[in-house]
Amino acid sequence: MKDERNDILSKVLEEFPDSPTLTLAKKIYKDHPALFTSVENVRSAIRYRRGNIGERSRSILDNKKYVRENGKAGFKIELPKSVAEPKKPFKLPEGKSLVISDVHVPYHDDKALQLCMDYARSYAPDNIIMNGDIADFFSISRWEKNPEHRNLSRELMLVRQFLQYLRERFPKARLIYKIGNHEERWEKFMWLKAPEISGISDFQIYDLLDFAKYGIEEVSGKQKMKAGKNLTIIHGHEMFNSTAPVNFARTLQTNLGVCAIAGHRHQTSQHCFKTADDKHIHCWSLGCLCDMAPEYAVINRWNHGFATLELHGNTFQVNNLRIIEGNIF
């Protein structure tokens, strides 16, 4: 019987070398109750073979094959698995693109937006890149707000109307919608006010704004867009920057170190930089198409504007346009 017990213990330790001692003891006792008096009896036998009873017992063991350091007889401690999700960039299509940012519907500027759309009709873009804050979501903002202006249903209706306008005026263009910090207001509002339904598809931006109906592709808020290998496009809120820079394009160059386009700051700017190895880095920030004197920033340094981008392979050309007194420069 002793040899049979030893064979069983050796077989189990061989088969499950990293399993906890108590787990193995329970298994062995369950399978062979006639050979062992209790679970504790089996556990002691396993601990003896693993050298976990004491230095003296470990030193006189004939077979040290199953010996473990104290504290190592059970699980192997592994590095924890990361829960971070990789963020792959959205690859922009080639051709001619209209890039607009910070429209803030329904607090857009009618004249500036119309000028932009008229220009786009003659430009005939293959793609329209809506680079964040197309919608305002004023009514669910965490900032103090005029209760007379709180009408979420109307806001959503007018944003859908704008998206429908784009689809009807540019039926062949790819429409790409990048989530900005104002669109993220909706997600944060749901997390705070209705977490139980925040993950349901019917309450996501994609369905809320009828992206499928208008053939719109969504780019998530923290996802970069890449035009070829050499140009990165972000909304601008992805970078932590608590102060308003004098030249946001220069801030892009300093923080990203690559050619880039961003909106977010409502200012047209450009910055060029040559590295020590003669690499040229060009960055642009775009103007907005929204009301220039909202209640929260009546005095500001904003300007209206948008951009065009032409991409062929890894070669690109950016035209950063500014709107001044009804004219496009």
What is the tens place of the pLDDT at every residue in 152-195? 899 999 999 999 999 999 999 999 999 999 999 988 888 887 77
3-state secondary structure of 163: helix
What is the tens place of the pLDDT at every residue in 261-310? 999 999 999 999 999 999 999 999 999 999 999 888 899 999 999 999 99
Is there a contact between 264 and 180 (Cβ–Cβ < 8 Å)?
A: yes
pLDDT confidence of 213, banded at 50, 70, 90? very high
Q: Does 3.60.21.50 match the CATH number of domain 92-328?
A: yes
Is there a contact between 14 and 30 (Cβ–Cβ < 8 Å)?
A: no
Q: Is the pLDDT of residue 75 over 80?
A: no
Domain ranges of the chain: 2-59, 92-328
Q: Is the pLDDT of residue 72 over 60?
A: no
Q: Which of 206, 2, 165, 246 is nearest to 254 (CA)?
A: 246
Beta strands in the chain (DSSP E): 90-91, 95-100, 127-131, 174-178, 216-219, 225-227, 231-233, 259-262, 269-274, 280-285, 304-312, 315-324, 327-328
pTM of the predicted protein model: 0.75
